[in-house]
Amino acid sequence: MSQRPIYLDCHATTPVDRRVLEAMLPYFTEHFGNPASINHVYGWEAEAAVKQARETLAKAIGATPEEIVFTSGATEANNLAIKGVAEAYFSKGRHIITLQTEHNAVLDPCHYLRSLGFDITFLPVRSDGLIDLQQLETAFRPDTILVSVMAANNEIGVLQPLKEIGSLCRQHSILFHTDAAQAIGKIPLDVEELKIDLLSLTAHKIYGSKGIGCLYVRRRDPRVKIAPQIHGGGHERGMRSGTLSTPHIVGLAKAVELALAERESESQRLTQLRQHLWQQMSQLPGIHLNGHPEQRLPGNLNISVEGVDGAALLLALQPVVAVSSGAACSSTKTTPSHVLMALGRNERLAYASIRFGIGRFNSLEEIDRVAQHAISAISSLRQPSAIGCS
């Protein structure tokens, strides 16, 4: 059997940590009760596990357990936050602000709301991917009800200035939502300090299982109202109906607990691996770093490569390393990454990009092997006169 490629796509998903799996397993077969079944021991066991998980997650972001609403993941949490606020506050205003570089789980709900008559401002970003705070404040209007800015970008890893954004929103009495799917467990997140009103999380970016996430919804100063998007049963205090998946909720809490416990040491290790990879890749001419060089996730390296075809580059890399391109693909068409285009990259560079997502189980030896193969592949694909003309 041929050796599997080295996995460096940890912004797409991560393997479930065995410690997380071990915490989940009893709730599939032994403690399998429905946490809403409050008349017998099976339900009590599940309810207790969910309560403990809720407390763990709340503590991780400086919230209270009652402010945690479980969802199927960050996509649903983003939809619940954005559409839920829009519906609950439409009599106050119909203007929402977000960034051009947001994940589609934010952009698509905003486009949907625009079709219903809401006014959406999609702010540009600077060439390093960071928001222009003055431009944000200038965009505020009396009818602005929500600002949605992701904590850490899923493609270029850029960390937005959440504290400054939160302060501006609070000064103008505008709700602030952040998609923290890529950020939880990797950077400090305190909803009180950062003045965040809604925050989306998911498990599978931090070595938990797919299909589980949560939304933090502030209960005081201010008390945030959201209209439910899923009805039927009144679960999660009426904000999100559906039987809670106890094993996945337990796994989400365990994944967050582990990530927080190991954050400082892991951040230092991943930063070193990222810098080591960048030092080797940047020796080649025509290699462009996408995003701020320092204000980014520890394990993220996103580069654009001059003088190569993007599809050919990914194909050449596949035998040795599993990575993503900056291009967003669908079943019917391929378009250049909207994130890289927003940074000012031309289409050729946007197509010829590589997102390296280094994770918990990667080693220095793997990074060296990937760098050597990538440099060799790029050199082989390039024409002698290709550099500087893309």
> Which tokens is 58 given?
């709340």
Annotated catalytic, 214?
no
DSSP letters, 68-104, are: EEEESSHHHHHHHHHHHHHHHSTTT--EEEEETTS-H
**Neighbouring-strand partners of residue 175:** 146
Q: What angle do CA 280, 282, 287 make, to 5 degrees?
A: 140
Q: Where are the alpha helices (DSSP H) in 318-358?
A: 338-342, 347-351
- What SS3 string covers 90-157? CCCCCEEEEECCCCHHHHHHHHHHHHCCCEEEEECCCCCCCCCHHHHHHHCCCCEEEEECCCECCCCC
User: Residue 306 has what DSSP assignment?
Assistant: T
Residue count of the chain, please give it. Answer: 390
For every residue of 49-61, DSSP letters joined together read HHHHHHHHHHHHH
Using a 10 angstrom Cβ sphere, with 0-12 exposed, 13-18 middle and 19 or more buried, the burial of residue 314 is buried
Burial 45-84 (b: 16+ CB within 10 A, else e): bbbebbeebbebbbebbbbeeebbbbbbbbbbbbbbbbbb
Alpha-carbon span 354 to 325, nearest angstrom: 5
Q: Nearest to residue 7, comparing CAs of 275, 324, 387, 238?
A: 324
Q: Give me the catalytic one of 10, 169, 329, 389.
A: 329
**Catalytic residue IDs:** 329
